[in-house]
Chain A
Amino acid sequence: MAQAINQALADCLAEDERVFVFGEDVGTLGGVFRITDGLAAKYGERRCFDTPLAESGIVGMAVGMAMNGMRPVVEMQFDAFAYPAFEQIVSHVAKMRNRTRGTVSLPMVIRAPYGGGIGGVEHHSDSSEAYYAHTPGLTVVAPATVADAYGLLRAAVAWPDPVIFLEPKRLYWSKEEVTLPAPTEPIGRAVVRRPGTDATLVAYGPSVQVALAAAEAAREEGWDLEVVDVRSIVPLDEQTLVASVRRTGRAVVVAEAPGFASVASEIAALLSERCFHALSAPVRRVTGFDIPYPSPKLEHHHLPDVERVLDAVATLQWEDA
């Protein structure tokens, strides 16, 4: 996946001279995850460059650049390192189009490695999607596949609104046989990754792989589970989610962020409102606990795994149980 993101950035830089890639350590080093490896060497230090260590400055500078016709792509080194830029994101990035009555748009991408599962110490494993999803004006996407990492990032750079691009860092080293660019669905579309008839697992980002593994394991229990990859948290493809759950009659939403006031909660509420008469059981959420992200040696307790998903599926009040 890391290579797919690198390829997407390289292709954007090659095709559009308005694109700039910058952040902390993205130049010579190629990023702490090597996502920007080789870009500065190939496209020059004016197009891919290191900034002073200041997230608010990075995002704020991107705002001014986007106002003046550029398409900046900035990197927040880790999910929780983006918080110093939060005011810029909430007060300006998200609102500029609205404040100016549609006159000033900000086509820019804020990339952030997000989520846990890599043994990072504190401040390196947050799932911050709810903060962004809650803020009107931001588009929020999270790829779960190699093809999507490329396709969604290309779409994000071309998107006329600011995009928060959440990269599941534990999938950086995931491998797929795929020739890029592979065809992918656009921003705003969810995808059924695995068809099934008994229940729908809704997931995004790193949790899609967990859901797929759970669906595979569920076959032993005789359950045929559908897996829907949300991909685009904002705008949310309600239609695909609702159609799936109306078909299967049961749903579990899987995400690793704390569950309280979360994207998972929003999706669960939406499905309850719109699928109530088709539901044979309450919609369940399987999320991280409502705790600060734990230390590496304890994170396996926190992260939803196949077992926890299957336990939730088991409570879906099967008629023949």
Chain B
Amino acid sequence: MDHFKDLKNTLSYIHSELNRMETMAGTLSTVEREHFKRLTNFDHRELMDIAVEEQNAARQLGTMKQMCLAMAQKIEGMKKAIDRGELGESAQHDTVH
């Protein structure tokens, strides 16, 4: 039983950190997007390339945000499965076989 309590605590920790990472990715994505806008104000080819990099970074941070969200949902599902005793049953079933 303690084993599952530990697992649940670990999952809770990962869940909260994923939520934090999601927020950070969202914030950084906004910052990168702002940088893109500012850099495109200059009529300079090299700065334009940096702006494009910033834009791509903004989109990838947006993707990270989505990935964190998806993983947090999966972990939430696992936590609920532990609460319902489903994970325990399945683990015991595996042990028997």
Decide if A and B are genuine partners. no
Chain B interface residues toward A at CB < 8 A: none
A interface list, Cβ under 8 A from B: none
